[in-house]
Amino acid sequence: MNPFSGLFEITVIGALCAIGCGLAGPILLLRRRVLLGDAVSHSVLAGIAIAFWIHPVVHSPWLRLGAALSGCCAAWAATRLTGVLRGRADAALGLVFPLFFSLGALILSIKASNTHLDVDQVLSGNLECSWLERFRFEGMDLGPKAAWNMLVIVLALLMTGWIWWRDLQIYLFDPQQGLILGRPMAFLEILVVVATTSVIVFSFDAMGPILLVALLAGPGICGWFFTRQLVPFLLVSVIAGLLSVLTGVGLAGTMDLNLAGSIGLAAFALALGTLLLAPDHGVIFRVLQAKRARIRFVARLLVVHIRQHEIRGDHARENSLEGLCDHLNLSEKDVLAGASWLHERSLADWQNQILASTAIGELFAKSLAEGQEL
Amino acid sequence: MTSPDGAVLCACIGAGLLYGLLGSITHLRRQSLRGDVLAHAAWPGVLVAFAITGERSPLVLALGAFVFSVGFGLVITWLERLFPRLKGDGAPALLLSGSFALGSVLWSLMQRHLEGLGQAGLKSFLLGQAAAVQWLDAWTLLGVFSAAGLFVFFLRRDIAGILFDRDQAFLLGQPVLAVEWVLDLLLALGVVCGLQVVGMVVLSALLVALPLAAMPHTSRFGTFVLLSTLLGALVGLITPWMVILLESTFGHPGRGVPTGPIFVLLATLVAMASLFGPRIFSGPRTDTSGIQP
Judge whether A24 lies within some domain. Answer: yes
- Tell whether A47 is covered by a domain: yes
Q: Which domain holds residue A249?
A: 7-278
> What does pTM read for this prediction?
0.87
In whole angstroms, what is the distance from residue B272 CA to residue B268 CA? Answer: 6
Can you give the CATH number for the domain in which A289 is found?
Answer: 1.10.10.10
Task: Choose the mutation target among B26, B27, B100 for the interface with A, i.e. most A CBs under 10 Å.
Answer: B100
| Residue A53 is assigned to a structural domain of this protein | yes
Instruction: Quote the CA–CA distance of A127 and A366 in Å, as a whole number.
Output: 69
CB contact residues (below 8 A), chain A span 122-181, against chain B: none
Residues A212 and A295 in one domain: no
Average pLDDT score, chain A = 87
Segment B210-237 mean pLDDT: 93
| Structure confidence at residue B153 (pLDDT) | 95
Contact of B95 with B78, CB cutoff 8 Å? no
Q: How far is CA A362 from CA A236, B151, B155, B217, in A?
A: 49, 60, 57, 67
Which of A263, A278, A293 is a domain's end point?
Answer: A278
Given A257, A278, A299, which residue is the final one in a domain?
Answer: A278
What's the mean pLDDT in B36-62? 86
pLDDT tens-place string over residues A208-243: 787 889 999 999 999 999 999 999 999 999 999 999
Residue A140 in 3-state DSSP?
strand
Categorize the per-residue pLDDT at A272 as very low, low, confident or very high, splitting at 50, 70 and 90.
Answer: very high
Cα separation, B36 vs A101, whole angstroms: 14
Selected for mutation to probe chain B from A225, A233, A258 (highest B CB count within 10 Å) is A258
Under 8 Å CB-to-CB from B188, ≥6 apart: which residues? Answer: B38, B66, B69, B70, B73
Q: Is residue A374 in some structural domain?
A: no
Average pLDDT over residues A245-267: 89
**Residue from B24, B76, B94 whose CB has the most chain A CBs within 10 Å, to mutate:** B94
* Mean per-residue pLDDT, A110-139: 64
Q: What is the pLDDT, as a whole number, of residue B189? A: 94
Read off the pLDDT of residues A23-49 as tens digits, 9 standing for 90 and up: 999 999 998 889 888 888 888 888 888
In this model, does residue A5 exceed pLDDT 50? yes
Mutual orientation of helices A283-312 and A359-369 as an angle, nearest 10°? Answer: 100
Asked whether residue A225 is domain-assigned, the answer is yes
What's the rounded Cα separation, in Å, for the pair A210 and A31? Answer: 20
Q: Is residue A2 part of a domain?
A: no
- CB count within 10 Å of CB B5 equals 15
A224 contact residues in B (CB cutoff 8 A)? 85
* CB burial of residue A79 (10 Å; 0-12, 13-18, 19+): buried
3-state SS, one letter per residue, for chain B: CCCCCHHHHHHHHHHHHHHHHHHHHHHHCCCCCHHHHHHHHHHHHHHHHHHHHCCCCHHHHHHHHHHHHHHHHHHHHHHHHHCHHHCCCHHHHHHHHHHHHHHHHHHHHHHHHCCCCCCHHHHHHHHCCHHHCCHHHHHHHHHHHHHHHHHHHHCHHHHHHHHHCHHHHHHCCCCHHHHHHHHHHHHHHHHHHHHHHCCHHHHHHHHHHHHHHHHHHCCEHHHHHHHHHHHHHHHHHHHHHHHHHHHHHHCECCECCCHHHHHHHHHHHHHHHHHHCCCCCCCCCCCHHHCEC
Number of H helices, E strands in chain A: 17, 4
Asked whether residue A107 falls in the same domain as residue A209, the answer is yes
If asked whether residues A320 and A209 sit together in one domain, one would say no
* CATH number (domain holding residue A218): 1.10.3470.10
Helix (H) or strand (E) holding A136: strand A134-137
For B:17-56, CB contacts with A below 8 A are 27, 30-33, 36
Query: What are the beta bridge partners of residue B260?
Result: none
Q: Are B188 and B73 in contact (CB under 8 A)?
A: yes
Residue A213 at interface with chain B, using a CB cutoff of 8 Å: yes
Instruction: Quote the minimal CA–CA distance from A128 to chain B in Å.
Output: 13
- Identify whether A98 is part of a domain: yes
- 10 Å Cβ neighbour count for A192? 23
Task: Name the nearest CA neighbour of A67 among A264, A220, A206.
Answer: A206
Task: Among A34, A88, A267, select the one facing B90 at the smallest CB separation.
Answer: A34
Q: Looking at the structure, tell me whether residues A195 and A339 fall in a common domain.
A: no
Q: Quick one: A197 and A297 in the same domain? A: no
Q: A75 vs A79, A119, A211, B31, B139, CA distance in Å?
A: 6, 21, 19, 19, 38
Residue A298 confidence class, pLDDT cut points 50, 70, 90: very high
Check: CB of residue A89 under 8 Å from CB of residue B89.
yes
pLDDT score recorded for residue B124: 59
| CA A238 centroid distance within chain | 11
State residue A145's pLDDT score. Answer: 81
Task: Say whether both A290 and A247 belong to one domain.
Answer: no
Does A275 have pLDDT greater than 80? yes
Mean pLDDT value of segment A138-158: 85
- Percent of chain A scoring above 70 in pLDDT: 93
**Chain A residues close to B261, C-beta within 8 Å:** 102-103, 105-106, 109
Question: Tens digit of pLDDT for each residue in B256-290?
Answer: 678 888 999 999 999 999 988 876 654 555 554 45
Which residues of chain B does A37 touch, with a Cβ-Cβ cutoff of 8 Å? 93
Q: Are residues A274 and A162 in the same domain?
A: yes
Per the rule left: phi > 0, alpha: psi between -120 and 50, beta: everything else, B88 is left
* CB proximity B288 to A under 8 Å: yes
Measured CA to CA, the distance from residue A266 to residue A252 in angstroms comes to 11
Distance CA B253, CA A338 (A): 83
Which residues of chain A lie closer than 8 angstroms to B202, CB-CB?
Answer: 98, 102
- CA gap B11, B243 in Å, rounded: 14
- For B279, residues 6+ apart whose C-beta sits below 8 A from its C-beta are B216, B217, B285
Q: Which residue among B96, B108, B264 places its CB closest to the CB of A261?
A: B108
Handedness of CA B237, B243, B245, B246 (dihedral sign): positive
Check if the beta carbon of residue A367 is closer than 8 Å to that of residue A373. Answer: yes
**Any bridge partners for residue A140, and if so which?**
A137
Residues A288 and A272 in one domain: no
**Banded model confidence at residue A353, pLDDT cuts 50, 70, 90:** confident
Query: How many other C-beta atoms can be found within 10 angstroms of the C-beta atom of residue A6?
Result: 15
Q: What is the DSSP letter of A282?
A: S
pLDDT tier at B291, thresholds 50, 70, 90? low
Kindly tell me the sign of the dihedral angle through the C-alpha atoms of A262, B83, B289, B26: positive
Spatial contact of B39 and B200, defined as CB atoms under 8 Å apart: yes
A1 within domain boundaries: no
Domain count, chain A: 2
- DSSP state, residue A75: H
Listed residues A278, A310, A329: the one ending a domain: A278
Domain shared by A56 and A22, yes or no: yes
pLDDT band at residue A1 under the 50/70/90 scheme? very low
Angstrom distance (rounded) from CA A256 to CA B31: 37
Q: Provide the ipTM.
A: 0.89
Q: Chain B residue with minimal CA distance to A43?
A: B201
Q: Is the dihedral of CA A145, A265, B203, B47 positive or negative?
A: positive
| CA distance readout (Å), A105 to A49, A132, A213, B195, B203 | 7, 27, 22, 18, 15
**Residues A306 and A361 reside in one and the same domain:** yes
A288 and A239 assigned to the same domain: no
Which has the closest alpha carbon to A268: B31, B91, B18? B91
Candidate from A117-126, A287-296, B8-17 with smallest mean pLDDT: A117-126
CA distances (Å), origin A209, targets A120, A148, A202: 12, 20, 11
Q: Are residues A176 and A211 in the same domain?
A: yes
Count of CB atoms situated within 10 Å of the CB of B4: 18
pLDDT digits (tens, 9 = 90+) for A101-122: 999 888 887 776 555 555 555 5
**Phi, psi of B252, rounded to the nearest 5 degrees:** -120, 160
Least confident span in A51-55, A286-290, A308-312: A51-55
Q: What is the spatial distance between Cα A71 and Cα A351, in angstroms, rounded to a whole number?
A: 75
